[in-house]
Amino acid sequence: MKIIIFGATGMVGQGVLREALNADDVSQVLAVGRAPLAINQSAMWARVKRRTEQDLLALPFKAAYMFRPGVIQPLHGVRSKTPAYNIFYTLTGPLLSLARRLLPRHVLSTEELGVAMLEVVRHGAPRAVLETGDIRELLTPGKRRP
């Protein structure tokens, strides 16, 4: 369903907007107001990502896998297209190496992510949606095949 909300910056409009963005049966929202909306972009991104994953899993592919890595440490000259991320990676580079060792279920490198994706293409995975811990397990010898 498609929704148009007039007055989306008012108290009632904000409530309606929030619920519309969280509703699975709402495909589009047009918000009309006199002031900029103060909405949580990450919530909208999560919703779009969830819908995209559901749509991909519904396609008639032999298999489809959704990767949800947590923190990713770029290695071997790999760089993000997002300038703020590059600043973050420059400032935290040495700490990310340590974090990968101390928090392996939360931090992956671009190398590890690439190897895991190829492993899934070659051998499949035990589930369609793979979180960081699941991705890490694909890198463990003897646990690669479902």
Q: What is the tens place of the pLDDT at every residue in 55-108?
A: 999 999 999 999 999 899 999 989 888 888 889 999 998 899 898 899 989 999
Tokens of 143: 């646990």
Segment 6-35, tens digit of pLDDT: 888 877 888 888 888 888 888 888 888 788
With 0-12 / 13-18 / 19 or more C-beta atoms within 10 angstroms meaning exposed / middle / buried, residue 17 is buried
Q: Which residues contact 145 (CB under 8 A, 6 or more apart)?
A: 123, 124
Please check whether residue 18 is in contact with residue 38, taking contact to mean a CB–CB distance below 8 angstroms. Answer: no
Tokens of 60: 């008639």
The C-alpha atoms of residue 38 and residue 43 are separated, in whole angstroms, by 12
Residue type for position 6: F
Residue 145 has pLDDT above 60, yes or no: no
Question: Other C-beta atoms within 10 Å of 116: how many?
Answer: 24
